[in-house]
Amino acid sequence: MPSLEALRIRHPEIRADYTIRQHWERYDAAAHGVWKTLYERQAKILPGRACDAFLEGLAKLNLVADAIPDLERLSDGLEKLTGWRVVTVPSLVPDETFFDHLANRRFPAGQFIRDASQLDYIEEPDIFHDVFGHVPMLAHPVFADYMQAYGKGGMRALTEFHALKNLARLYWYTVEFGLVEGPEGLRIYGSGIVSSRAESIYAVESSSPNRIGFDLERVMRTEYRIDDFQESYFVIRSFDDLFAETYKDFAALYTKLQAGPTYKPGDILATDRLHHRGTHAYVGGSHAAV
């Protein structure tokens, strides 16, 4: 990750907390066009796959296909709902900066948008992933509290426990790649899934990945892959349940995690609660349910 000094070359006004002005007026038609293309692709496939909280968040925040959102205006709406704001950063920020933003109900979003030649894969999160993927869930009161608690916990994990590796897995398997049980089957809430067309379909419908009932210690022992679709997803029962499972002191757990096994992304344990596919599971089978 580039240092503040290095970033200052392209972003002379960058602040100590890595925030910059969005300069919304500088996005050109091609940039807005990429947002629109990506938005419309996802809007077509997410009903019935993304959870209600996500879809309701999009609607409540008036996030639309027309153009890259102006993050000040978006933040004014979001702040009224849950007290969160979205701030602009050049790209990834250092861990302690990231945690400090979350702990203060500020979500850092990258300023740039991917090129039209890279609709399906980017190496660093752009504004489509950060805003379309993450911000709708921040309009959900319990999820909003979870994200703030994560920021506070991140600071403790970093400075007191040296347990960032374990805590980062929790973020990965919930905030980025989480699934939730819904009345009609498994639904997506993870931003990394919801901002990807192919993974949105794969995560809900493919028979390939494991879908494992959420268990905090199990998740914190599980490595993840960043270069391909996930081999395992963890399924929460509800956002209340996720919050109840994590809003407790992790000190004893961090100690316990210093010993014992680490699991590979694709491992299945005898103790795992495995889910079968959601609403679309029976398509082609004898119980055509959709």
Active site residue 195: yes
Residue 150's binding partner among ligand PHE, Fe ion, none (Cβ under 5 to 8 angstroms by kind) is ligand PHE
Binding partner at 108 among ligand PHE, Fe ion, none, C-beta below 5 to 8 Å by kind:
none
Comparing CB distances to ligand PHE, the nearer of 22 and 246 is 246
Q: If 0-12 CB within 10 Å is exposed, 13-18 middle and 19+ buried, where does residue 61 land?
A: buried
> What does 163-194 look like in DSSP terms, one character per residue?
-HHHHHHHHIIIIIT-EEEETTEEEE--HHHH
Say whether 75 is catalytic. no
The CA-atom distances, in angstroms, between 217 and each of 40, 80, 115 are 38, 35, 39
Amino acid 108 reads P
Q: Is 252 in the site for ligand PHE (CB under 6 A)?
A: no
Residues 182-211 as x/- pattern, contact with Fe ion by CB under 5 A: ---------x--------------------
- Buried-state track 110-134, b at ≥16 Cβ within 10 A, e below 16: bbebbeeeeeeebeebbbbbbbbbb
Please work out the total of residues on this chain that contact ligand PHE, with binding judged by CB under 6 A. 11
The binder of 248, among Fe ion, ligand PHE, none, by C-beta within 5 to 8 A per type, is: ligand PHE
Q: By C-alpha distance, which of 178, 171, 165 is closest to 211?
A: 178
> Is 129 among the catalytic positions?
yes
End-to-end CA distance of the chain: 46
Residue with the shortest CB distance to ligand PHE: 153
Closest approach, Cβ 230 to ligand PHE, in A, equals 20
Of 69, 153, 192, 209, the one binding ligand PHE by CB under 6 A? 153
Type of residue at 178: G
Determine, following the binding rule CB under 6 A, whether residue 249 of this chain makes contact with ligand PHE: yes
150: contact with ligand PHE by CB under 6 A: yes
Active site residues: 129, 134, 176, 195
Residues that bind ligand PHE (CB under 6 A): 146, 149-150, 153, 156, 170, 246-250
